[in-house]
Amino acid sequence: MNKEAFIHYLLGFVDGEGCFCVAIKKQESVKMRWLLDSVFHITQHKRSQKILYDFKKLFGCEEVVEKYGQENTLMFLVHRRRDLVDKIVPFFRKINYY
């Protein structure tokens, strides 16, 4: 599979298994009392974990972790704001997906 076809495959995979999420949390320890908690993740059964590591390699950031409470489910997880702004969002904007 060539690189362009692989990128389109990954895009379709994210469409079905991925999520961008921004939560607003009340946090007494921060100055404004509210915290924006942003995350991008892709979830997959551990038997298909290779695809999660493909995403990790593609973006060059974050980690693959076990999903809390689901020992057979793994997540490629990006929660560092700098990685979201510099790597994840530009990738999707570049290809006019979102």
**Domain span at 75:** 17-94
The pLDDT score that the predictor gives to residue 6 is 82
Q: pTM of the predicted model, to two decimals?
A: 0.79
Number of domains in the chain: 1
pLDDT higher than 70, residue 96: no
What are the tokens at 51? 């695809």
Q: In this predicted model, what pLDDT tens digit does every residue of 6-57 receive, in sequence order?
A: 888 888 888 889 999 998 888 888 777 887 889 999 999 999 999 999 999 9
Q: At residue 50, what is the residue type?
A: K
Residue 28's CATH number: 3.10.28.10
The pLDDT score that the predictor gives to residue 98 is 46
Asked if residue 2 is part of any domain, the answer here is no
Q: Which residues are 44's β-sheet partners?
A: 74
pLDDT higher than 80, residue 77: yes
Asked if residue 35 is part of any domain, the answer here is yes
